[in-house]
Amino acid sequence: MKWNAELYDQKHSFVFQYGENLVELLNPQKDEQILDLGCGTGYLTQQIHEQEAKVRGTDSSPEMIRQAKENYPGIDFAVEDATTFKATAQYDAVFSNAVLHWIKNTDALMQNVYNSLKPGGRFVAEMGGKGNVQHLLNATRQVLQQHGYTKQAQTQIWYFPSLGEYTSRLEAAGFRVTYAAHFDRKTPLQDGDQGVAKWIMMFGPLLTAGIPQKEKEQMLAEVTALLEPHYNENGQWYADYKRLRFIAIKEV
Protein backbone atom coordinates (compact mmCIF):
# COMPACT_ATOMS: atom_id res chain seq x y z
CA MET A 1 0.00 0.00 0.00
CA LYS A 2 1.34 3.44 -0.95
CA TRP A 3 1.07 6.03 1.81
CA ASN A 4 0.31 9.74 1.50
CA ALA A 5 2.81 10.87 4.14
CA GLU A 6 1.84 14.55 4.00
CA LEU A 7 -1.87 13.80 4.47
CA TYR A 8 -0.95 11.42 7.29
CA ASP A 9 0.80 14.25 9.15
CA GLN A 10 -1.88 16.85 8.44
CA LYS A 11 -5.14 14.96 9.00
CA HIS A 12 -4.25 11.81 10.96
CA SER A 13 -1.70 13.10 13.45
CA PHE A 14 -3.67 11.42 16.26
CA VAL A 15 -1.77 8.23 15.35
CA PHE A 16 1.53 9.55 16.71
CA GLN A 17 0.11 12.07 19.21
CA TYR A 18 -1.59 9.28 21.14
CA GLY A 19 1.73 7.46 21.10
CA GLU A 20 3.47 10.09 23.22
CA ASN A 21 2.61 8.39 26.51
CA LEU A 22 3.84 5.13 24.99
CA VAL A 23 7.26 6.79 24.86
CA GLU A 24 6.88 7.37 28.61
CA LEU A 25 6.27 3.64 29.01
CA LEU A 26 9.42 2.96 26.98
CA ASN A 27 11.33 5.31 29.31
CA PRO A 28 14.35 5.72 27.03
CA GLN A 29 17.66 6.27 28.80
CA LYS A 30 20.68 8.25 27.67
CA ASP A 31 22.81 6.37 25.11
CA GLU A 32 20.45 3.39 24.91
CA GLN A 33 20.30 1.82 21.45
CA ILE A 34 16.63 1.89 20.43
CA LEU A 35 14.85 0.84 17.23
CA ASP A 36 11.58 2.60 16.35
CA LEU A 37 9.92 -0.09 14.24
CA GLY A 38 7.38 1.36 11.78
CA CYS A 39 8.35 4.94 12.57
CA GLY A 40 6.08 6.58 9.99
CA THR A 41 7.02 10.23 9.52
CA GLY A 42 9.33 10.18 12.54
CA TYR A 43 7.49 12.19 15.21
CA LEU A 44 7.92 9.66 18.02
CA THR A 45 11.45 8.82 16.85
CA GLN A 46 12.26 12.47 17.49
CA GLN A 47 10.66 12.25 20.96
CA ILE A 48 12.97 9.34 21.80
CA HIS A 49 15.97 11.18 20.30
CA GLU A 50 15.27 14.18 22.53
CA GLN A 51 15.79 11.95 25.57
CA GLU A 52 19.37 11.33 24.36
CA ALA A 53 18.88 7.74 23.29
CA LYS A 54 20.62 6.54 20.13
CA VAL A 55 17.50 5.84 18.07
CA ARG A 56 17.05 4.48 14.56
CA GLY A 57 13.71 4.73 12.75
CA THR A 58 12.61 2.22 10.13
CA ASP A 59 9.46 1.80 8.06
CA SER A 60 8.49 -0.30 5.05
CA SER A 61 7.05 2.78 3.31
CA PRO A 62 9.54 4.82 1.22
CA GLU A 63 7.07 7.73 1.31
CA MET A 64 7.04 7.77 5.12
CA ILE A 65 10.83 7.53 5.38
CA ARG A 66 11.28 10.30 2.83
CA GLN A 67 9.04 12.55 4.93
CA ALA A 68 10.78 11.50 8.18
CA LYS A 69 14.18 12.45 6.75
CA GLU A 70 12.80 15.85 5.74
CA ASN A 71 11.19 16.39 9.15
CA TYR A 72 14.16 15.27 11.27
CA PRO A 73 17.41 15.28 9.27
CA GLY A 74 19.54 14.56 12.33
CA ILE A 75 18.11 11.08 12.91
CA ASP A 76 19.00 7.79 11.22
CA PHE A 77 16.02 6.57 9.15
CA ALA A 78 15.84 3.65 6.72
CA VAL A 79 13.33 1.70 4.62
CA GLU A 80 13.11 -1.79 6.14
CA ASP A 81 10.55 -4.57 6.46
CA ALA A 82 9.82 -5.54 10.07
CA THR A 83 9.72 -9.25 9.23
CA THR A 84 12.97 -9.47 7.28
CA PHE A 85 15.39 -6.76 8.47
CA LYS A 86 18.81 -7.82 9.73
CA ALA A 87 19.95 -5.79 12.73
CA THR A 88 23.54 -4.61 12.40
CA ALA A 89 23.74 -4.21 16.20
CA GLN A 90 21.63 -5.46 19.07
CA TYR A 91 19.23 -3.00 20.66
CA ASP A 92 18.37 -2.23 24.27
CA ALA A 93 14.76 -1.75 23.19
CA VAL A 94 12.47 -2.08 20.20
CA PHE A 95 9.58 0.39 20.16
CA SER A 96 6.51 0.29 17.92
CA ASN A 97 3.34 2.38 17.76
CA ALA A 98 0.26 1.64 15.63
CA VAL A 99 2.14 -0.71 13.30
CA LEU A 100 1.94 -4.33 14.42
CA HIS A 101 -1.71 -4.77 13.36
CA TRP A 102 -0.57 -4.20 9.76
CA ILE A 103 1.81 -7.17 9.92
CA LYS A 104 0.24 -10.52 9.04
CA ASN A 105 3.38 -12.64 9.53
CA THR A 106 3.41 -12.20 13.30
CA ASP A 107 5.75 -15.11 14.01
CA ALA A 108 8.44 -13.74 11.68
CA LEU A 109 8.03 -10.28 13.21
CA MET A 110 8.42 -11.53 16.79
CA GLN A 111 11.41 -13.69 15.94
CA ASN A 112 13.07 -10.79 14.17
CA VAL A 113 12.49 -8.44 17.10
CA TYR A 114 13.74 -11.10 19.54
CA ASN A 115 16.93 -11.60 17.51
CA SER A 116 17.58 -7.85 17.32
CA LEU A 117 17.41 -7.33 21.12
CA LYS A 118 20.18 -7.69 23.66
CA PRO A 119 19.52 -10.25 26.44
CA GLY A 120 17.09 -8.55 28.82
CA GLY A 121 16.13 -6.03 26.12
CA ARG A 122 12.54 -4.85 25.97
CA PHE A 123 9.87 -4.80 23.27
CA VAL A 124 7.44 -1.94 23.97
CA ALA A 125 4.50 -1.54 21.62
CA GLU A 126 0.92 -0.49 21.05
CA MET A 127 -1.36 -1.75 18.28
CA GLY A 128 -5.00 -2.18 17.39
CA GLY A 129 -6.60 -4.80 19.63
CA LYS A 130 -9.61 -7.06 19.32
CA GLY A 131 -12.71 -5.08 18.33
CA ASN A 132 -10.78 -2.10 16.95
CA VAL A 133 -13.00 0.04 14.65
CA GLN A 134 -15.55 -2.78 14.70
CA HIS A 135 -18.50 -0.48 14.02
CA LEU A 136 -16.70 0.98 11.02
CA LEU A 137 -15.77 -2.41 9.60
CA ASN A 138 -19.28 -3.79 10.08
CA ALA A 139 -20.87 -0.78 8.35
CA THR A 140 -18.37 -0.84 5.48
CA ARG A 141 -18.85 -4.55 4.84
CA GLN A 142 -22.61 -4.20 4.99
CA VAL A 143 -22.59 -1.48 2.31
CA LEU A 144 -20.10 -3.38 0.15
CA GLN A 145 -22.31 -6.48 0.25
CA GLN A 146 -25.42 -4.45 -0.61
CA HIS A 147 -23.67 -3.08 -3.69
CA GLY A 148 -22.47 -6.52 -4.77
CA TYR A 149 -18.78 -6.11 -3.87
CA THR A 150 -18.41 -9.40 -2.05
CA LYS A 151 -14.66 -9.70 -2.63
CA GLN A 152 -13.94 -6.30 -1.12
CA ALA A 153 -16.26 -7.07 1.81
CA GLN A 154 -14.14 -10.10 2.63
CA THR A 155 -10.85 -8.21 2.49
CA GLN A 156 -8.78 -8.61 5.66
CA ILE A 157 -6.36 -5.71 6.00
CA TRP A 158 -5.49 -5.81 9.68
CA TYR A 159 -4.82 -8.25 12.50
CA PHE A 160 -6.53 -7.12 15.72
CA PRO A 161 -5.76 -9.81 18.34
CA SER A 162 -7.03 -10.26 21.87
CA LEU A 163 -4.67 -9.70 24.77
CA GLY A 164 -4.44 -13.41 25.54
CA GLU A 165 -3.81 -14.33 21.91
CA TYR A 166 -0.98 -11.87 21.38
CA THR A 167 0.75 -12.32 24.72
CA SER A 168 0.71 -16.09 24.21
CA ARG A 169 2.47 -15.63 20.89
CA LEU A 170 5.04 -13.35 22.51
CA GLU A 171 5.72 -16.00 25.15
CA ALA A 172 6.04 -18.69 22.49
CA ALA A 173 8.66 -16.50 20.77
CA GLY A 174 10.75 -16.40 23.96
CA PHE A 175 9.56 -13.18 25.58
CA ARG A 176 8.42 -12.66 29.16
CA VAL A 177 5.43 -10.33 29.12
CA THR A 178 5.71 -7.99 32.11
CA TYR A 179 2.81 -5.68 31.22
CA ALA A 180 -0.18 -5.93 28.90
CA ALA A 181 -3.45 -4.02 28.59
CA HIS A 182 -6.42 -3.96 26.21
CA PHE A 183 -8.47 -0.77 26.46
CA ASP A 184 -11.03 1.42 24.71
CA ARG A 185 -9.84 4.75 23.34
CA LYS A 186 -12.41 6.57 21.29
CA THR A 187 -10.50 8.66 18.80
CA PRO A 188 -11.69 11.96 17.28
CA LEU A 189 -12.02 12.18 13.51
CA GLN A 190 -11.31 15.49 11.81
CA ASP A 191 -13.70 17.22 9.39
CA GLY A 192 -16.99 16.13 10.96
CA ASP A 193 -19.08 13.74 8.88
CA GLN A 194 -16.33 13.69 6.23
CA GLY A 195 -13.99 12.06 8.73
CA VAL A 196 -15.25 8.52 8.14
CA ALA A 197 -14.63 8.61 4.38
CA LYS A 198 -11.21 10.20 4.88
CA TRP A 199 -10.26 7.54 7.46
CA ILE A 200 -11.25 4.73 5.09
CA MET A 201 -9.39 6.27 2.15
CA MET A 202 -6.28 6.84 4.28
CA PHE A 203 -6.07 3.52 6.10
CA GLY A 204 -8.37 1.12 4.25
CA PRO A 205 -8.33 1.94 0.53
CA LEU A 206 -8.22 -1.79 -0.27
CA LEU A 207 -11.80 -2.03 1.00
CA THR A 208 -12.97 0.06 -1.97
CA ALA A 209 -10.38 -1.02 -4.54
CA GLY A 210 -11.75 -1.29 -8.08
CA ILE A 211 -15.00 0.58 -7.36
CA PRO A 212 -15.82 3.49 -9.72
CA GLN A 213 -15.30 6.87 -8.07
CA LYS A 214 -18.92 8.06 -8.19
CA GLU A 215 -20.24 4.83 -6.73
CA LYS A 216 -17.45 4.82 -4.14
CA GLU A 217 -18.48 8.29 -2.96
CA GLN A 218 -22.10 7.16 -2.65
CA MET A 219 -21.07 4.07 -0.69
CA LEU A 220 -18.86 6.06 1.69
CA ALA A 221 -21.84 8.35 2.34
CA GLU A 222 -23.95 5.27 3.17
CA VAL A 223 -21.26 3.98 5.54
CA THR A 224 -21.17 7.39 7.22
CA ALA A 225 -24.95 7.37 7.69
CA LEU A 226 -24.82 3.92 9.31
CA LEU A 227 -22.08 5.07 11.68
CA GLU A 228 -23.66 8.36 12.74
CA PRO A 229 -25.54 6.92 15.77
CA HIS A 230 -22.29 5.37 17.02
CA TYR A 231 -19.76 8.04 16.02
CA ASN A 232 -21.46 11.46 16.16
CA GLU A 233 -21.38 13.05 19.61
CA ASN A 234 -22.86 16.55 19.34
CA GLY A 235 -21.07 17.24 16.08
CA GLN A 236 -17.72 15.67 17.01
CA TRP A 237 -17.19 12.29 15.39
CA TYR A 238 -15.21 9.56 17.16
CA ALA A 239 -13.95 6.20 15.90
CA ASP A 240 -14.28 3.16 18.17
CA TYR A 241 -10.61 2.42 18.75
CA LYS A 242 -9.49 -0.44 20.98
CA ARG A 243 -5.80 -0.71 21.71
CA LEU A 244 -3.43 -3.44 22.85
CA ARG A 245 -0.28 -2.31 24.67
CA PHE A 246 2.52 -4.39 26.11
CA ILE A 247 6.07 -4.64 27.45
CA ALA A 248 7.90 -7.90 26.71
CA ILE A 249 11.43 -8.78 27.84
CA LYS A 250 13.85 -10.96 25.90
CA GLU A 251 14.66 -13.99 28.01
CA VAL A 252 17.66 -16.12 27.15
Residue 226: count of CB within 10 angstroms of its CB: 18
Pairwise pLDDT comparison (4 vs 140), residue with the higher score = 140
pTM over 0.85: yes
Secondary element (H or E) of residue 172: helix 163-172
Nearest to 80 by CA among 129, 113, 32: 113
Instruction: Give the residue ranges of DSSP H helices in the chain.
Output: 5-11, 14-17, 20-26, 43-49, 62-71, 106-116, 134-146, 150-153, 163-172, 195-203, 213-231
Task: Indicate the SS3 state at residue 38.
Answer: coil
Sketch out the chain's domains with CATH numbers.
5-132+158-189+240-250 (3.40.50.150)
**Separation CA 242–CA 252 (nearest Å):** 32
Supply the pLDDT for residue 168: 98
Confidence of residue 192 (pLDDT cuts 50, 70, 90): confident
pLDDT tens, residue by residue, 91-141: 999 999 999 999 999 999 999 999 999 999 999 999 999 999 999 999 999
Q: CB neighbours (10 Å) of residue 248?
A: 27
